[in-house]
Amino acid sequence: MSDTFPRQYARTQRFSLGVPRDFAVVGGGSHVLFLRSSGPDDPVNALWALDTSTGSERVVVDPRELAKDIDGEMPAAERARRERVRESAAGITSYATSNNELKVAFPLGGELFVADLVNETCVTIENSTGAFDPRLSGDGQLVSFVVDNSLRVAPADGSKPATTLIAEDTAGVSWGSAEFVAAEEMRRNRGHWWDPTSRKLAVTRVDLADVNVWHISAPNEPTDTPRAISYPAAGTNNADVKMCVIDVSDASQVEVDWDRQSYPYLVDVTWGDNEPLTLTVQTRDQRSMKILEVQADTGETVPVTEIVDPDWVEIVPGTPRRWRDGWLTIQEHGATRALLHNGAPISPPDQWVRSVVDLDETTITYTASVDPTTIELWSYGEDGNKLHSDGDGVTYANGSHSVLVTQRSSMDHATTTTVAKGDDQWVIDSFAAVPLVEPDVRFHQTGPSQSHTAVVFPTVDFKDPLPILLDPYGGPHAQRVMKSRNSYLLSQWFANQGFCVVITDGPGTPGRGNGWERMIRGDVATPILQAQIEALQAVGELYSGKVDPSRVGIRGWSFGGYLAALAVIRRPDLFHAAVAGAPVTDWRLYDTHYTERYLGHPDLEPDNYKNTSLLEEAEKLQRPLMLIHGLADDNVVAAHTLQLSAALLAAGRSHEVLPLSNTTHMTPQEEVAENILLLQVDFLKRNLATTPVSDNI
């Protein structure tokens, strides 16, 4: 059977297999660790190390040689972690390192392992069945990890079995792991941190007693008991999160005291060398974020800085961060998002700063955008701000100890990974597949708002005007229009089926200043949809004679699914068919931290929820709509699609529903992922009457 793009796209997990990932600089800069599978069809990641003195690579741990069943008996907490970070690979998918020791801890096949790079050994930690989220002490002598709702500690050399440090019999209480909204929305995927002396741990206690319990069922398996989940929907109770400092020698504990009533969200925790335990906490309305220093012996906290914003304070991982005599923050300042030191901007006013990569006493390395479609590497030091990338691509980086790992892509090439130390530089090979399609993308700024828009035509000749297919995400925290080649592979394949594909980043998306993100506060529907309409109209004018505005489809997943359904319901005069995958249909059913950031608390601002609910407008549907939803989705639960379908049925509105059994918010199963693409194309062709222009199915 000849290969096809949908099959290749599904089999390679969106061309992610074989790509080096998850980098960590260890051993004072002597090595760079990373994960990579053996090839484009291999989902099993091994742990690799690059020696920065020679540039040589070696496999540290091959999971196939270590465990008979590499994904057997996966703990529920590990499955949840993978869902939160959208992890679909196998083998080693996460690991923890010590500050300076060349040791690595990782769960595999339901057990915990610790590898020693110096001795080239790998030991199994006894009494670790069900291990999740291991963390090595700074001296590399101990490893802590979660099993079920308890926190355990063991010698990292495997010389003694693990023992329970803290546990509690109270139903719904867990120690040492992150609650749902922390992992899903705050990017905090952990719940325990070692102190610099390796004698104490800061540990979260999460109590779910007051959180709504929902149930995820498997209708295709009627004998299975529905799975209960604690889901903090907008306007309802969050988990109650506390923190204790626990002495590992005797399990004595001191509770950390802060105003949890006013600042219930624990955003981040750090406990670095020669630094106090430090918490970042946030109010429920997310308009204030404080940094608290903790006296570990007493639990007392002292606020050291605060960030406030009339709309919301954005969480930027890795900041706030100490530097010299004060604090580095990335926050809204004037017309942009700036890098600030003690409140004063140190990035130029034309930059929109995205992250701090690394720093020492003299220099800060960071990423920022001048053009929202690119991300570049910059530094700030005694000579001011300097650009370190070529200005026409997308760069991500991390580093420490004078070692910099850079991942860069552009419209000319897929991601390349470079490790630099001093004058030495090495490229880490990617074993990813070569895609069967080659993107041909044209960039524009469309409409009065000048939204960044990408237009993709078929790569073969066509005679008749093409139907237009909008392919947005459109929502906060994500950009689609970036100068990165692989971002357009799927859109190119859709174009080759006989469409002009249009991708637009409207208000609410990152990368632009002048209140661009804040325009959606209180309304995640109207301004975002308007940007799509403006892009559609602009493309019709720019490519008059090549496109047919009387045949317009729109497709999307998650927020993009919401936007697709919204478009076809509100503007049937412009949008003639829609595919909505895993759409939010009623924002009261989505989580607190994300939803209340943009729409406020539903008890205080109920109209924001009513005016953005698809259920309220279901009777307006006049055009073909396909709804797709994974029945095991615990992020955007299937109730969203089922309630919209019920409202459409009650209004007598025809529509199609494609339920995906045993599928979550991701679609990792190869057959499912491939066939979803084919079914979408079939639906769009049926309802937009396209003419085939390519045999590349």
CA–CA–CA angle 395, 399, 401 (5° rounding)? 150
> CB-side exposure of 575: number of CA atoms within 13 Å?
30
Distance in angstroms (rounded) separating the CA atoms of residues 516 and 277: 35
CA–CA–CA angle 113, 115, 119 (5° rounding)? 145
599 in any annotated domain: yes
**What pLDDT score does 414 carry?**
94
Residues in the chain where the model's pLDDT stays below 50: 695-697
Helix axes 559-570, 526-542, angle to 10 degrees: 70
The domain that holds 573 is classified in CATH as 3.40.50.1820
Place of tokens 């940094």: 291
Distance in angstroms (rounded) separating the CA atoms of residues 508 and 518: 6
636 in any annotated domain: yes
For 500-523, what is the HEC assignment? Answer: EEEEEECCCCCCCCCCCHHHHCCC
Residues sharing a CB contact under 8 Å with residue 537, sequence separation 6 or more, in sequence order: 446, 447, 549
632 in any annotated domain: yes
341 in any annotated domain: no
**What pLDDT score does 674 carry?**
87
C-beta separation of 469 from 494 below 8 A: yes
Residue 588, domain extent: 441-688
**What pLDDT score does 145 carry?**
97
446 in any annotated domain: yes
Residues sharing a CB contact under 8 Å with residue 74, sequence separation 6 or more, in sequence order: 110
**What pLDDT score does 82 carry?**
75
**What pLDDT score does 89 carry?**
77
**What pLDDT score does 323 carry?**
95
Three-class DSSP category at 619: helix
Place of tokens 């497709």: 555
Distance in angstroms (rounded) separating the CA atoms of residues 624 and 554: 11
What letter would DSSP give residue 483? Answer: S
**What pLDDT score does 692 carry?**
61
The two tokens of residue 684 are 């769009």
For 289-330, what is the HEC assignment? Answer: EEEEEECCCCCCEEEEEEEECCCCCCCCCCCCEEECCEEEEE
Q: Is 402 exposed, middle or buried (0-12, 13-18, 19+ CB in 10 A)?
A: middle
Report pLDDT digits (tens) over 279-298: 999 999 999 999 999 999 99
Nearest alpha carbon to residue 192 among 240, 241, 122, 158: 241
579 in any annotated domain: yes
Distance in angstroms (rounded) separating the CA atoms of residues 100 and 168: 33
C-beta separation of 357 from 377 below 8 A: yes
Please name the amino acid found at residue 605. Answer: E
**What pLDDT score does 109 carry?**
87
232 in any annotated domain: no
Report pLDDT digits (tens) over 30-44: 999 999 999 999 999
Q: How many CB atoms lie within 10 A of CB 79?
A: 15
**What pLDDT score does 73 carry?**
65
Q: How far is CA 184 from CA 84, 86, 237, 260, 438, in A?
A: 5, 10, 16, 20, 33
Q: What is the dihedral of CA 589, 591, 592, 597, to 10 degrees?
A: -100
558 in any annotated domain: yes
Total number of domains constituting the chain: 1
